[in-house]
Structure 1
């Protein structure tokens, strides 16, 4: 039977840590936790569970996750963020799969439903819900591509969707929405080429709002749908506006 390492990233994750960690421990032969400087009680909670995290400053999600993968003792890894919760069907599927894990070119995707401000939504820019991230794989073949935002695991020749799903409980408050929006767009502009265009900054956001509110189904999500539509519009505005400012020597931070 293959041994499985669960790789978990944390940062001020106390709100979601118990529903994430409890099911993960049920299938983990080893747990690797990489923390990027929590100060909200996350470290104390982990200590209470007998878990000693590795501290590493955060640069990008991909870099952090690849570091966690490199610390694993086993080649088969399951990668999770601390706001992702595995359901019982997925746990059962992974238990059944472990004796069969032998082909390093085969990797496994998990159906992921997004929850924003406590409500399941149809999408949050730039992904629709559900999406199907690749999370269970052999580390000899797969790594996360190092892009500033919206990275993904790449390298598998064959991909299979596991039964069950994971809930991604993100953006617990409006403050968190705007804080992450600011952080994501600044990181995008610093590490990826974005056209420094005032025209795109002012003319693209209405179309982004309409796409995510109407076409992607945000209108079905009530008031939270308006938030996700506004998020798409503001993300679009900020990435072009920040790029324009950066090209003119205006510091982002």
Structure 2
């Protein structure tokens, strides 16, 4: 009975031995798992190049729409592509091994030694420098932090039924008013880490040096279990923008694709629609991504 229950729970946490830091390691690398993101991936890649990202490691989860070609066009030799189209299970228990967690652990272990910082994010997430000229400069005050947890700032449909011309950043400027409001804000995090200290990986959290601790972007240390509290919140140096839905048509397509785990379709659809309603219940304007591009003298339209 116990074993049967256990077999239905995916493996979502992996332990690893940290990579050895290479001499002269520097910069920030992004890790991304993608499946058919061609419409917006060029804008995502161009933004993060402008923000000072040194390299992007992409895990190709069966793209068929030209996503990888767009990334090659934008990123050139700053791109590494790994084939990653799989669903794996433990042979004894039948537990699914979370494909995203597998990719993150592989990237940290195999590429992390080259870089001072690494962040595993999604194609609908943008790391926005709030004051500094780029991400490396924004991270200078946080040199002593092995793991920096950035709360989602969730953007909804912004009234768009169909995908608008001009890209994501220009057309989606309203987000959930309170990023730390629990269910209403759909609170979660992505993490910028020093890969040489990572000892365990989940999608939204890491252990460093065997400890379940993290820092906010003001450099204050917290236990991982305490970061959902209001005292943890900060977005002084870097803000994580999460474009959860984009247009209604894209939201419907997101629901139709299903979860990245083996989740029953109706339950997945209900959860996503509930999250959208919570995000859009109370919104504020947020133009920090456009403000960064204006400071950098970059264009604000989408890459086509």
Normalized against structure 2, the TM-score is what? 0.51
Structure 1 residue 140: deviation in Å?
3.2
Judged with a 3 Å threshold, the aligned counterparts in structure 2 of structure 1 residues 39 and 152 are, in CA distance, closer, same or farther, namely: same
Higher normalized contact order (CA 8 Å, seq sep 6+, divided by chain length)? 2
The CA distance in 2 between the partners of 1:66 and 1:127, in whole Å, is 28
Aligned match for 1:178, one of 237, 255, 266: 255
Structure 1 residue 188: deviation in Å?
4.2
Partner of residue 54, structure 2: 29
The CA distance in 2 between the partners of 1:90 and 1:82, in whole Å, is 23
Query: Aligned ranges for residues 48-197 of structure 1 at < 5 Å?
Result: 48-49=73-74, 50=76, 51-59=79-87, 60-72=99-111, 73-74=114-115, 76-89=117-130, 92=133, 94-99=135-140, 102-103=143-144, 106-118=146-158, 120=174, 122=176, 128-129=184-185, 131=187, 133-142=189-198, 143-145=200-202, 151-156=203-208, 157-161=213-217, 162-163=235-236, 164-171=238-245, 172=247, 173=249, 174-180=251-257, 182-183=258-259, 187-188=262-263
Decide which structure has greater helix share.
1
The CA distance in 1 between the partners of 2:28 and 2:279, in whole Å, is 37
Aligned residue pair count: 194
The CA distance in 1 between the partners of 2:61 and 2:27, in whole Å, is 26
Judged with a 3 Å threshold, the aligned counterparts in structure 2 of structure 1 residues 102 and 213 are, in CA distance, closer, same or farther, namely: closer
Which stretches in structure 2 are left out of the alignment for 5+ residues?
1-24, 88-98, 160-173, 218-234, 284-304
Which stretches in structure 1 are left out of the alignment for 5+ residues?
146-150, 190-200, 222-253
Does the residue aligned with 1:24 lie in a helix, a strand or coil?
A: helix
